[in-house]
Amino acid sequence: MGAKIIDGKEIASEIIEEIKLHINQFKKDIRPGLAVVLVGDDEASRTYVDMKEKMCHYVGIHSRVIKLDSTITEKELLQVIQELNADTEIHGILVQLPLPKHINEFTINESILPQKDVDGFNPVNIGNLQLNRASFIPCTPKGIIQLLKKVGIEIEGKEALVVGRSNIVGKPTADLLLNENATVTICHSKSKDLQKLCLRSDIIISAVGSPGLITDDMIKDGTVIIDAGTSMIDGKLVGDVKYDLCYKKAGYITPVPGGVGPMTIAMLMKNTLKAAKEAEEAV
C-alpha cells in the first residue's frame, strides 16, 4: 500500500473557485489589481508570468504585465515600482525572479510597499512573519501549509525538517511551521548527515532543486513528504524526491508537477484579494 497523494492541483482548484466567488462579490465596489513586472526574456519566467496572468483573468483580477528589457538599470526599475506603488488601480505588485545580476534583488523587494507586497518579500512582511503577526506570506510557503491543513495533517508537536534555506521558500516555510508549533530543523548544503535528519522527521519539506535528493532509505514509514523542489531534466519537470520509491513508504506525498506548484498561484490570487480588501478598508 502506497502513500496518500496530496493533490495540489485539486486543492488549489477548490481555493481558486472560492477566491473567484469572493472577487465577484467584492468587485462591485473595487476590482482587485495585480501588476507583474518581468525583466528580461527568461523562458521559465515567461511561462510563470503567463500562468499568473491567465489565472488573474479567470478569477476576475485586473492583470497588468509589464515587460522590461534585461538591460534596464536598477534606478529605472525602481521608478517603475514607485509608479505602481502610487497607482490606486494596482493592489498587488510582483517582480518576477530571478532578476539580472546587475539589479539588487533585496533593493527591489524593499521598494515595494508592504501593503502591496503580495509575494511577501518586503523586509516588513518578513519581520511580521517571524513575529507571527498578520502579514503577506510568501506564496509557496503559504501554499505548503495550506496543503498540510487541507488533508488534515497535524503539525503541532511534529518533528519537521525543511531542506533548503532560501529566502523565498526554505526560511519562511520554517517560520510558518514554528508558528504552527512544530519542532523545526533547517538543513542545507553545509549540514552533516542529511539521512539522519530525515529519518527522525515526521514531516519533510524539500525545496532545493536537486533531483533525487530524498530517497526511500532516508525516510521512516509514514513520513509526510512535501516536494517543493523543481528541476528540468530532458524537458520534464521533476522534484527533489525519488517519488516512485518514497511513495511506497511515505504516509503522504506530493507529486511534481501537480503538488506545490498550483498552490503557489492560488496563494498569489488570495494575497491579491487580501491586498484589495485592506486597501478598500483603509479608505
Residues assigned a catalytic role: 52, 96, 119
DSSP 241: B
Give the up-direction half-sphere exposure of residue 150: CA atoms within 13 A in the CB hemisphere: 21
CA distances from 232 to 38, 55, 211, 237, 240 (A): 21, 23, 9, 5, 11
Nearest Cα to Cα of residue 203 among 176, 224, 226, 182:
224
For 4, the 3-state DSSP assignment is: strand
Burial level of 150, CB count in 10 A (0-12/13-18/19+)? middle
Cα distance between the two ends of the chain: 55
Phi, psi of 209, deg, nearest 5: 85, 40
Ranges of beta strands (E only) in 49-97 are 62-68, 92-95
Instruction: Give the three-state DSSP class for 283.
Output: coil
